[in-house]
Amino acid sequence: MADLAINGDSAIALAWKQIDPDVCAAYPITPQTIIVERFSDYVADGDVGTEFVCVESEHSALTVCTASGSAGARTFTATSSQGLAYMWEMLPITSAMRVPLVMAVANRAVSGPINIHNDHGDVMSARDTGWLSIFAENVQEAYDCAIMAPRIAEHRDVQLPILVNLDGFILTHAIERMTPLEDAVVKEFVGEYEPFMPLLDYKHPVSHGLMDGPEFYIEHKYQLVQAMENAVPVIEKVFADYEKVSGRKYNIVEEYMCKDAEYVAVVLGSAFGTMKAAVDELRAKGIKAGVCMPRVFRPWPADRLAKILDGKKAVAVMDKHLSVGAYGPMFPEVAAAMQGCKKAPKAYDFVFGLGGKDTSVKEFEGVFEMLAAGKAKAVNFMGVEE
């Protein structure tokens, strides 16, 4: 297909159209609305055979999707911010029931105060619920991740739901150049859905969502741990297969100028691109800076981060969410990963971009300059007007 000028939400909807899921239940919320709005156009126009369910709330959306997935249908949904918060009760239930549904999350600040702009407060609040979680840097990656997501989630060794994260407004509404795949290529890549122990297979009756007492609760939770571990080689295989059909290479942790870097930043989402521009500026000044992005946030890629960060002078962990009363949510995970380093660097937390607060290339350069000058504090709050 020819290149398109398209925003991130529409790119997700296009990927869904090419996959043609069985069911989509969703409720609109800014800045996610365009995804399901555009996809509903495809449904209305007969471009897909999807059963589109308009529900009264995000909680109902995920409840319908969990039931649909349990019944044996390939199921997609999307949400953002308060919508994901409203779904929260169902998040651990969906993963515990091993429903491999796909949810696009247009990352947005969680109220209050009320704010519709980007940070990672929504997805970070869901990080411990048993869902796989991957991040996109730009519109092309949002599209690609949407196509790869069902292959990962539905794999028989995984069978977990997955979150596809794209930064609200920065990616959801910004129009970028994107190269889509042909419809037939996407259909062949994703493949036909083969549900595992679906409720509607009356010849092999099963029960889902039962009561679980103390005797077996931990065993079933531990199965989620095993599924997350199983997901790592599955993700690597899906990434490799996708490169063959698209020419675009993806890694569990993306690196930029990290190999000889003395100072490295760890960042998620669209800020990865801004940070790469800052690294280029600093390299021109003789500062050996680098940046990496955990493309896969769950399962957490501790071993890969340890290898990247080993022997560096200092690390800046860029948290686009505030954990009140503690470090930002990604910092302790990076610190724990560095237990695998032979020579662990000093690590510092930088909380930035809350509620959509803009962070410039120059400000990101300042992060590295603080590291090099030894002026960084344990936790640094960027953009606070004193």
Per residue in 6-33, pLDDT tens? 999 999 999 999 999 999 999 999 999 9
In this prediction, residue 1 carries a pLDDT of 80
Average pLDDT over residues 211-220: 94
Work out the average pLDDT over 212-239: 96
Q: What is the pLDDT of residues 343-372, one digit of tens each?
A: 999 999 999 999 999 999 999 999 999 999
Query: What CATH number has the domain spanning 253-381?
Result: 3.40.50.920
Taking only the tens place, the pLDDT of each residue in 295-320 is 999 999 999 999 999 999 999 999 99
| Cα dihedral 138, 181, 227, 77 sign | positive
Q: pLDDT digit string (tens) for 172-200?
A: 999 999 999 999 999 999 999 999 999 99
Answer whether 4-246 and 253-381 agree in fold.
Answer: yes
pTM for this model (two decimals): 0.98
Confidence of residue 2 (pLDDT cuts 50, 70, 90): very high
Residue 386's pLDDT is what? 73
- The domain ranges of the chain are 4-246, 253-381
CATH class of this structure's domain 4-246: alpha beta
